[in-house]
A and B are shown apart, each in its own frame.
Chain A
């Protein structure tokens, strides 16, 4: 309020000052314009003066010329007329700028001049009617009127007074000149007495005469200067003498004076008046110029002042307006927000708003913001604490669970009786369930906290989805539920998160199984519904069951965490209620929305559509057996339910000639190349032997519950597929009859067993249970294990011994896994030794953990609880080992790996004479090599640092690097494998002998020399490099 009053006062003051300055500026502008007008008027008055002088002269000469009857003064008159014309032209052009009024006033001049000249030239008319009338009656009044107007145009009193004096002098001079001209005329008329009219005319002229009053001139200095002149103007003795002489001889005309004497006497007097006019006008000009300058200066000053105050006022108004607007906006916003505050703050805020106290408002906001900030900080801390709790919980729970599960696995592998096996199964099942629950809780937390990052990796959808669908057949079989699936064979490799997709499917199918009673049906359909361009497809996932169904009200709740349809569901079917919440969140993150359509007691369909990118470079799907005729027998009493429909869908993907038949006879069977039968149909079971006699091939579809029966039915013309039906299984069955023509990647490839015997593995783990577990697992793999209890010991052991692999737990006392890893890497770099892969072994499963471990230099990651297969895979991926596929007679060398790399090693059959190093090393007997392994890069270099640099640079590129440090090792390695590249340290090979590089080339490898300077004579045909980047560029295809 106070500020408002203050601003108002300031504004009023500024407005007052602005108004006052505006008034002054206006008046000063007015004065300036007047000063300009005055200057202009003075300039024009000069022209008037000159005109007047010219006219006076012409009048005088006209009079004497006329008096002399044109016999004298003609030339002088002519000159005088020319002067008058020039003066008139100048005057008229000047006054034209002033507008019409002056032009109108002076218009008679030209006309009068023309008239009087004509009469004078004609020597006609009386003086009074011609010269007298024209000059004294017309032209002089016009000049005087214009002069009077100019005089009145001056706004300052001093200029007005002076101009009046000038006008007075003008009038006096003109009057005197009029008498002089007349007397000149009279005297010029030699011996011509004055008539009564002459005397009368003369009297009128004398009446006009007067002595101007100059006492009103304000300038005393000028007045003093004019006094003498004025006194002389007043003294008209000479004029009086002329008059006396003319009066004296008025009756006889014998005037004793000459015309020139008359004109000179009068000219002398009018000259005095002209002098006075000039002096006064000069003073006026000076005064006008001073006034002009001063008014101009003041105008500028007032103008600037006005502008400044206006700007100040505008600024003040703007500031005030902005301030007011902002304050109002602030108040309005707070009024709207009042209800958002707690009751005690609402009352406080309302009070403040009523007072319109801006300071109090800001104080309130500051306090509120600080409280909000503190609350936020607390929330963040709480969130961190929760995350930490989750991480710790995850670690604390998973660690013992890891032990339970691991040893349960080991126990399972031992000889157990039935009862013991049953107990172990229960323990395993319970532990798995507990682990699932822990993972679900952790997952949900991670998802809700947006801490789960989905992978975007290529995957085979048929495999991945099949992996999720297949295992649950056991559940279906146990509960006698019909279980079928359809995975669209058109789905080629896609980009997505296969792990999460498997999780989603497993959850939905598991739920379907759980809530479907015996005799019901669970169907999984995954199909491509459309393609978007060349790189994206929309895939619809649907899991349908004939279970208990869900009401619309229950539908609202089921996607909420820990919520099931109702409590009875939990009692009857168990479960935590986390699965659907997690599934829904994952689907949402993938770009879809999990929805359900359901009818109570009839069943439910859970479905969602995902946009998935296609992996480019695949051919469009075509049926692999386009000429084969395939039938599916489905009788009228088929108990296959809707599963039959999807079976037909699958068959249609094999061939366009797939048909469903309702009757199966010999004749019917003959028409088809293959007939698919469902063994669950009773009719089929009863007629199976008969069916086997038909002249066709049979594929039996059966559930695992019929496995014991089905296994006895294997024939040459019979293939068996256990449900759920999969495209791969169908291909396999077809391949049994017609060979492998389709997509071989769908075939189940036999796993190659790699021997890990002899590998030296260092394990750093502080927990005894985990130690024992890992030890047991690794012993099973027949590797040499060194166990230490902390990172420091791990470092010490690494420094002492060479290992093939290190498993490093993260959370350990004394020195943790991350610190130990860093220390080991520093050691290896310092010493230039071979890098030993370090694998993180941890229960931490939070987002970012894996990336964190990789960043510090770990090579891979295994999460607890430890899975045997995963351990094996990791070891195989990171260690140089031999592989021995079952039934194969070739050796293979696995390519360099990253985590979860499942690329199969490529068997190579080598020529016998692929390498003959005898000429390279004569002392070395040529080994008999019948099988040559393949290698990527052989590095011959003594410097550990250079070895380390090359290894670190090339292995991530996918190159396996074999390092040798001396000649013997070099030749041994060179002879044992066929390398693609052989890298040679230039310092180790002769500079003038290219035989080594030639031999390398002949072996099929590319020699590359590492040299800082090109000194080797073999350069020219051998590639070289000085920096690792150059080498990468050479190796990059």
Chain B
């Protein structure tokens, strides 16, 4: 629920902070952020589904992720005038068909090849979303930047869980581990940025503190190389909790820009 609210908030919040002239860029930026969040969430959920196929509720989440992706594609398509962005959307559309095929099929999902395929697609979606963002640069204020940071942290958190889960499935691929570590570092750096921000609200500070605590609980499990220490559900639950705390911060920042 909180995620939905967060997603909605992100969508609407960003829009309200955008200047009239570059409202479209903001929209696109926001949509690109949603794409990034959703694709990684989809990839994460799919990787969970592959490992725990009896958790049929994940199928519903996957479907909602897909719908959100579609919505974002529409947003961008309607807003952007950038041909490269449009080209990117075409690429996204082509990839989305495949995603739909995988997600909506009735076949046994326990297929590592397909899992790898989803991973690749999500990576390409990341790059694409980044490219779109680059093409629609916007000079955010500090407050806006914090808001954007919290959103980015949420995205990166999804990517971290994605790679963590992917590595559980395909431990022969060192690239995944590398990407995981890269993302962990990035998130840690971003967390530092958040820690450095002088939140005047003690509740917000408390939230930040909780965020830090949770990350510190989670971090050792993310970096542990021992298979017996693999705790996917714990990581997922922790990531969900971190996401909730990030949403609280985002809400604060969206109100205080």
Interface residues of A (CB under 8 A from B): 196, 199-200, 202-203, 206-207, 209-211, 213, 234-235, 237, 240, 243-244, 247-251
Contacts and interface: CB of A to CB of B under 8 A. Distances in A.
Contacts of B237: 206, 240, 243-244, 247
Contacts of A211: 55-57
Contact of A202 (B1, B2, B228, B234): B234
Interface string B179-202: 000000000000000000000000
Main secondary structure of the interface of B (DSSP, over half): helix
B144 to A, nearest CB: 28
B154 to A, nearest CB: 15
Contact of A251 (B2, B210, B216): B216
Contact of A210 (B55, B214, B216, B232): B55
Given A244-B244, A248-B210, A248-B213, A207 B229 contact: no
Given A203-B234, A243-B241, A244-B237, A210 B217 contact: no
A251 B219 CA distance: 12
Given A200-B229, A200-B231, A203-B231, A247 B218 contact: yes
B234 A210 contact: no
B234 A247 contact: yes
6 contacts: A206-B233, A210-B57, A240-B244, A243-B241, A248-B210, A248-B214
Nearest to A250: B217
A200 B227 CA distance: 11
Contacts of A199: 221, 231, 234
B10 to A, nearest CB: 19
B55 A244 contact: no
A768 B57 CA distance: 144
Given A199-B221, A247-B214, A234 B234 contact: no
A202 B231 CA distance: 9
A210 B221 contact: no
A839 B187 CA distance: 162
Given A203-B231, A243-B241, 11 more contacts: A196-B229, A203-B233, A207-B232, A209-B55, A211-B55, A213-B56, A235-B1, A240-B244, A247-B218, A247-B234, A251-B216
Contacts of B216: 251
Contacts of B140: none
Nearest to B216: A251
A234 B64 CA distance: 15
B137 to A, nearest CB: 35
A200 B229 CA distance: 7
Contacts of A249: 213
B18 interface: no
A244 B214 contact: yes
A981 B219 CA distance: 158
B80 interface: no
Contacts of B213: 248-249, 251
Chain B interface residue number, banded: 20 to 34
Contacts of A248: 210, 213-214, 217, 241
Contacts of B57: 210-211, 234
Given A210-B52, A210-B55, A244 B234 contact: no
Most buried by B among A211, A248, A251: A248
B238 interface: yes
A243 B57 CA distance: 18
Most buried by A among B57, B214, B234, B240: B234
Contact of A203 (B1, B2, B232): B232
A1002 B232 CA distance: 154
A650 B57 CA distance: 142
Contacts of A210: 52, 54-57
Contacts of B228: 200
A247 B229 contact: no
A209 B2 CA distance: 21
A167 to B, nearest CB: 12
The 10 closest A-B pairs by CB, nearest first: A244-B241, A206-B233, A203-B231, A211-B57, A203-B234, A250-B217, A210-B55, A243-B237, A203-B233, A213-B56
Contacts of B241: 240, 243-244, 247-248
B105 to A, nearest CB: 17
Nearest to A211: B57
Contacts of A202: 231, 234
B214 to A, nearest CB: 5
A161 to B, nearest CB: 15
A243 B229 CA distance: 19
Nearest to B59: A213
A202 B54 CA distance: 18
B56 A206 contact: no
Interface string B238-257: 10110010000000000000
Contacts of A251: 213, 216-217
A286 to B, nearest CB: 27
A697 B155 CA distance: 180
Most buried by A among B60, B216, B228, B238: B238
Contacts of B55: 209-211
Contacts of A240: 237, 240-241, 244
A234 B56 CA distance: 10
A243 B214 CA distance: 11
A248 to B, nearest CB: 5
A353 B221 CA distance: 107
A247 B233 contact: no
A243 B213 CA distance: 14
Most buried by B among A207, A234, A247: A247
Nearest to A215: B56
Nearest to B2: A237
Contacts of B1: 235, 237
Contact of A207 (B56, B233, B244): B233
Contacts of B233: 203, 206-207, 209
B142 to A, nearest CB: 28
B207 to A, nearest CB: 11
A167 B161 CA distance: 32
Contacts of A235: 1
Most buried by B among A203, A213, A251: A203
